[in-house]
Amino acid sequence: MGGPFFGVRPSEFRGGVLLRGVEQTIASRVQCTGIGLHTGQPVDLALRPAAPGTGVLFVRTDGPQPVRFPARAEWVTDTRLATTLGNEDSRLSTIEHLVSALRGMGIDNCTVEVAGPELPIMDGSAASFVYLIQQAGIRAQARMRRRIVIRRQIEVRDGNRWVRVMPSREFKLSVEIDYAHPAIGRQALDGLVISPELFAREIAPARTFGFLKDTQRLQAIGLARGGSLANAVVLDETRVLNAEGLRFRDEFARHKVLDLIGDLALLGVPLQGHVKAVRGGHQLHQALVAEIRANPSCWTLETPGSEREPALDGGVFQPVPGRV
C-alpha cells in the first residue's frame, strides 16, 4: 500500500542455527542502568549466570521481597504496549528486547534482576543487551539443549494478519509488514536462518518505532514518559523525525523480527520450524505460542542425540501457581 518494497534473500544471511549442542549461560555478572519507557525513571538491570535447566528468570528486586517471573508464555499478562509478565501481586513489562537478545545470542539460562516495574528501554533496540552479553562472555553447560520440533503446520489469523509455523530443519523466520506510510510501506525479510552472528549484526540494532501522534496521546495519559528520539524511530505523517535517519533501509521489518524472536522465546526452549508473520505483533505472536502449546500432536520435544521426549513436559510448560 504505497512506499518501497525491501526484500532480503536467504542467501544474504548465513551462519549456524541455535538448535544444536549444549545449553549455555553467561560467564559472569554484568549490569547497566537505563530509563524505563513508560515511567521515565532510571532502572537498574543485572544479568547473572544461571544453572542448567533454569531458563530465563526475571527477578524484581525493588520490593521488600524479590518477586520471580519465569520468561514463559504462561506468565504473560499483557501484550498491548509491550510484553508484560505478572502474577497476582506484581508485574514486569517491556521484557521482549532482552529476551530476544538472550535467545538470539544462544543463551538458555540467565537470571535477570530488575529494580523496577519495567526493563530499561536503552536505545529502543537489543544492541545494548547484546553488548552486555558479549562483555559477560558465554559459558557452555553440562546439559544438552532441548528443542520443540514442528511436525505439522500451526497458524493463527486475525483478519488480514496472520502468523504460522511450518516444519523446517532450522529455526527460520520470514516477516512481512505493510504500513500506509511513505517512510515504511511494504517491507519483507524472507527465510532468515538465525545465528548469534546474524542476530548481533543484522537484527539487534533495529529500533522500535512509533508515530508522533500516538506518543503524544500516550504521554497525555501518563505513559511513554521515557519515550524520545533517543530510544525509538519516531515518524510524523510523512517522514522519520530522527536526525540520524535509519540504521537499515528496512529497519522497521528488522525490528519486527527482533520482537518475534523474543515472543517465541517464551515457549521456554528453542523452536525448530519456519515461522512466517504477515502484519504480526506481540498479541498475534503470543496467540501462535498459545496455539503451539495447545497442539502437542503437531510437534515433538527433542534433545540432539537422544530419543524424543513426551510432547508435554513439566520442565517446558509449567503451570503458574495460583492461576487457572
Provide the annotated active-site residues.
282
- Collapsing DSSP states into helix, strand and coil, what is residue 98? helix
Q: How far is it, in rounded angstroms, from Cα 211 to Cα 314?
A: 42
Q: How far is it, in rounded angstroms, from Cα 158 to Cα 79?
A: 15
Nearest to 261 by CA among 168, 187, 194, 179: 194
DSSP letter (8 states) at residue 131: H
Sequence-ordered list of residues with C-beta below 8 angstroms from that of 20, at least 6 positions apart, any chain? 145, 304
Sequence-ordered list of residues with C-beta below 8 angstroms from that of 68, at least 6 positions apart, any chain? 57, 58, 59, 60
- DSSP per-residue string spanning 194-243: --HHHIIIIITTPPPEEEHHHHHHHHHTT--TT--TTSSEEE-SSSB--T
Half-sphere exposure of residue 272: CA atoms within 13 angstroms, side-chain side = 21
User: Grid coordinates in use for 321?
Assistant: 501457581
CA 213 to chain centre: 26
Backbone angles phi, psi at 117, to 5 degrees: -85, -5
- Collapsing DSSP states into helix, strand and coil, what is residue 185? strand
Q: How far is it, in rounded angstroms, from Cα 157 to Cα 253?
A: 19
Q: How far is it, in rounded angstroms, from Cα 65 to Cα 59?
A: 10
Backbone angles phi, psi at 113, to 5 degrees: -100, 130
